[in-house]
Amino acid sequence: MQTLKAIKNSDAKANSFSDREFPMLDADFDFIARVANEKTGIQLGNHKRDMIYSRIVRRIRLLKLQTFAEYCEYLNSHPEKEMTNFTNAITTNLTSFFREEHHFDFLRSTVLPEIKSKNRVSKKLRVWSAGCSTGEEPYSLAMTFHRAFSDVSGWDIKILATDLDTNVVSHGKAGVYVPDRVEGLSASILKKNFNVVVPASGRGNAYEVSPHLKRYITFNRLNLLGDWPMKGGFDVIFCRNVVIYFNKDAQRILFDRYAEMLKPNGYLFIGHSETLHGVTSRFESLGRTIYRKIS
C-alpha cells in the first residue's frame, strides 16, 4: 500500500508534467509506454518520464502541436508517417569506440585464434553487431579483425551492423565522427584507420573511417523483436546494453533466437549490466559478460 507521502510525491510528479510548456498527463505517458513496448519491446517505467518528455517534446514542436495528448492522437492516426520518428526519439544510443575493452582483449587472445583454426578451410568469419548505434562498435570490431588477420590472406570477413534507429544506422554507414567521439583512440589508430575531413557543417575537422574498414561492414535497420531476414551462421554476436530495455519474456525469446543464429560454440557478448542468469540455459558463462553457446 502506498504511503501518504508516496501518493503526494506521485501527484507532484504528475503535476510537474501537466504544468510544463507542453502538458503530459499520465494517460499520455501510458499511451507512449504501451506503443513503445508493442512496437519495439522497450519498457518505459515511470523513472523514464523526464527522458520521454525531453525527447518527444522535440517532435511536438516540429509538428506544431500543443500537447502530448495531441501528439498521441497524431501517432495513433498516422503510424505510417510517425512511427519511425517516434522509435528514433525514444531509443537510447550511448556508445564509444572499444567500449568495454576486455571484450576486445578476449576476441584478440581467445576467439580469433580459435576461429582461425576452426574455419581454416572456409576462411570465413561472420559477426553481428546487434544494436550497433552510431557505428563505433562495428568499426571497433573491424579494426580488431583487420589487425588480427593481417598475417593471413584470403579470409572473407563480414560484420552485420543493425539497429532499430534509422538515424544512427545512417550515421554509422557514413562513418564520420567529430573529434570528441574519437578522443579515446591513440594517434596511431587514428592515422591507420581514419581520414581527416571537413564535416557538412563546415566547422572544424572530423574523422572519417577509412574504406579498408568500411568494406567489412553492412549497416541495416532491424527490429530485434521482428522478423530477421538473415539465415545465421554467425561466429560471434555482440548485443550489448540492449536487452536492459526488454522484459524477461522478451529476453528469453531474443537469446533463444541468438542461440539459433550462432554456430556451435559461438560467442555472445552482452553489456556490463546485463546477465543471462535465470533467462536462458543455451549459453555457458565465461565471465565478464562473455558467453559461449552450448552445443
Annotated catalytic residue 30:
no
Cell numbers given for 269: 557478448
Residue 30 CA: distances (Å) to CA of 26, 34, 41: 6, 6, 15
Q: Which of 28, 59, 126, 163 is catalytic?
A: 163
The catalytic position among 55, 108, 147, 292 is 55
Q: What does DSSP assign to residue 21?
A: S
Q: Torsion-angle region of residue 26: left (phi > 0), alpha (psi -120 to 50) or beta?
A: alpha
User: What would the DSSP string read from start to end of 86-142?
Assistant: HHHHH------TT-SHHHHHHIIIIIHHHHHHHTTTT-EEEEEEET-TTTHHHHHHH
What values do phi and psi take at 183, rounded to 5?
-65, -20
**Residue 286 corresponds to which amino acid?**
L
Catalytic residue list contains 55: yes
Q: Does residue 226 contact residue 118 with C-beta atoms inside 8 Å?
A: no
Residues designated catalytic: 55, 163
